[in-house]
Amino acid sequence: MSVVRSKILGVGSYLPEKIITNDDLSRMVDTSDEWITERTGIKLRHIASENEKTSDLAYRAAIDALKSAGITSTDLDAILVATTTPDDTFPATATKVQKLLGMQRGFAYDLQAVCSGFMYAMMTADSLIRSGQVKTVLVIGAETLSRLVDWTDRNTCVLFGDGAGAVILTASEGNGTSLDTGILSARVFSDGTYGDLLHTTGGPSSTRTVGTIFMNGREVFRHAVVKLASAAEEVLRNANVSSQELTWLVPHQANLRIIDSTAKKLGIDMSKVVVTVDHHANTSSASIPLALAEKVKTHEIKRGDLLLFDAMGAGFTWGAMLARY
């Protein structure tokens, strides 16, 4: 049976030049390289410069992805930007990227699902492609989380970083089996009753400010492993694929211990898990496309590889996606 699949045509990334190490942080708050490494696996994070906005990071990743796909912005029908840190409350960062790319056709909008944003954007792009509304979509996860961090709060300031990752999806033909190239299965979830465990202390309609990040880390951790594993299992089941058949797990990069525990629950050996949290930290919606782009560039992820993405974040929101690269 012939079906439409959303194929990953290209990937791109951008990380700001400035780096803050754990030792740098230990001079700012009461923490240590030892604590951060042991509890999170993070060694350093990239931080946007004063004049770099989320749209600048997103644009750089977009240019990289277009080059990787061998197309130009005139070939794009839509741009979806997953971000929790837009340049401004409006217009959407996606329309800024559209302008920077010199693209005056199609449409562009933002999606906000915090650390699961990239999963939501990919699922939406896949639906738009499979319904025949568009052929080629640029999906970007871009964040300047450093602008939401309270740099005096050791509970959160050690965890986050800035960056952007991009993927270009295009319609292709498959035969409806798990041997097809492209997105094979995807599910996203949310449960707003957990909103208080991870949130910002402000927003345009509540405080007229952006607020800073508050997190009950221990509780978020506990839910993360369970929800990530159950979303992944559902997506695998829907595609009739076992975790043993995966080439790579490409998880959201929040904490090495969460990644490790989820892989164990799924029976996936850590040698098949992409880990970038050590040198990217948690870049929220950018973390999966950044991790994917890194491993495609080093040729560790190759055409034909079976990839499982999963993410969990504030809301709570979570989700998983199975794709053959």
Is position 189 an interface residue for ligand UT7 (rule: CB under 6 A)? no
Question: Quick one: tokens of 145?
Answer: 């989380």
Establish whether 46 is a catalytic residue.
no
Residue number with CB closer to ligand UT7 (185 or 255): 255
Beta-bridged to residue 19, according to DSSP, are 46
Query: In 3-state terms, what secondary structure has residue 87?
Result: coil
- Determine which residue in the list 183, 186, 254, 322 makes contact with ligand UT7, applying CB under 6 A: 254
- Determine which residue in the list 258, 281, 286, 307 makes contact with ligand UT7, applying CB under 6 A: 258
Per-residue burial over 94-125, b = 16 or more CB atoms within 10 Å of its CB, e = otherwise: bbbbbebbebeebebbbbbbbbbbbbbbbbbb
Establish whether 252 is a catalytic residue.
yes
First CA to last CA distance, the chain = 21
Is position 214 an interface residue for ligand UT7 (rule: CB under 6 A)? no
- Determine which residue in the list 35, 107, 109, 189 makes contact with ligand UT7, applying CB under 6 A: 35
Establish whether 199 is a catalytic residue.
no
- CB 318, min distance to ligand UT7, A: 10
Beta-bridged to residue 311, according to DSSP, are 319
Q: Name the residue whose CB lies closest to ligand UT7.
A: 217
Question: How many CB atoms neighbour CB 270 within 10 A?
Answer: 12
- CB 282, min distance to ligand UT7, A: 5
Residues 158-177 within binding reach of ligand UT7 (CB under 6 A): 158
Residue the block writes with tokens 């870049």: 283
Question: How many CB atoms neighbour CB 70 within 10 A?
Answer: 10
Residue number with CB closer to ligand UT7 (260 or 305): 260
Residue the block writes with tokens 């996860």: 141
**Burial of residue 277, with CB atoms counted within 10 A of its CB: 0-12 exposed, 13-18 middle, 19 or more buried:** buried
- CB 268, min distance to ligand UT7, A: 18
Residue the block writes with tokens 């961090």: 149
Is position 224 an interface residue for ligand UT7 (rule: CB under 6 A)? yes
Angle between helices 217-238 and 256-266 (to 10 degrees): 40
- From the candidates 157, 252, 255, 280, give the one annotated as an active-site residue: 252
- Determine which residue in the list 282, 283, 285, 317 makes contact with ligand UT7, applying CB under 6 A: 282
In the shown chain, the binding pattern of residues 109 to 148 toward ligand UT7, with x for contact by CB under 6 A and - for none, equals ------x---------------------------------
Asked if 125 contacts 6 with a C-beta cutoff of 8 angstroms, the reply is yes
- From the candidates 115, 157, 255, 280, give the one annotated as an active-site residue: 115
- CB 154, min distance to ligand UT7, A: 4
* Residue 267 backbone phi and psi in degrees, to 5: 70, 30
Give the binding site for ligand UT7 (CB under 6 A): 31, 35-36, 39-40, 115, 154-155, 158, 217-218, 220-221, 224, 254-255, 258, 282, 312-313
Instruction: List, by residue number, the catalytic residues.
Output: 115, 252, 282
